[in-house]
A and B are shown apart, each in its own frame.
Chain A
Amino acid sequence: MAITQSITSTFKSQLLSGGHNFAASGGNTFKIALYTSAASLDSTTTTYTATGEVSSSGTNYTAGGNTLTNSGITLSGTTAYISFSNTSWTSASFTAAGALIYNATNSNNAVAVFNFGGNFTSTNGTFSVIFPAATSSTAVLILN
């Protein structure tokens, strides 16, 4: 069992067939689900899975995760990038080691896997996922 940070292979393919729309207005709905270290996630992950997901029992975490607010698509010179607003869970009591962003509009198709670099535990606190600054060199997803 492992969580390997990666862009999923199916996402790359689906990009070329119009399977993901990141437009801030009228685009698809993207969600982020959290996982324990028991999860198996990597570039071969094709869709959202509940296996290894953070429990929704007594944790204030809801299965499927949070809906992300899309910052839209920006083109800067020859580089295009997207980002999302930070998201958080309040009164959270759970441990997470990774996350999956997926397209809730289109069959829950997987976009990207994140490994947090270890276990992060919130005890009735606020658990926040902070996205990198939305620039052409630091945004969470860049095409150049």
Chain B
Amino acid sequence: MSELSEQAQVTLNSVTIEITNPEPDMAENNIEEEEAE
């Protein structure tokens, strides 16, 4: 009798990481508006 042989494989694929950090606060605009003459 002959043996039946078949290769089997278990594969693990990588995950990826995504990070969404909050936007930093917008810097305040301290430039004073010039008065129109």
Contact = CB atoms under 8 A, between A and B. Distances in A.
Interface size band for B = 10 to 19
Contacts of B20: 125-126, 128
A74 to B, nearest CB: 14
Interface size band for A = 20 to 34
Interface string B9-35: 111111111111110000000000000
Contacts, number: 66
A120 B19 contact: yes
Interface stretch (A50-58, A102-110, A130-138): A130-138
Interface string A112-136: 1010100011111111111110000
Interface of B: 8-22
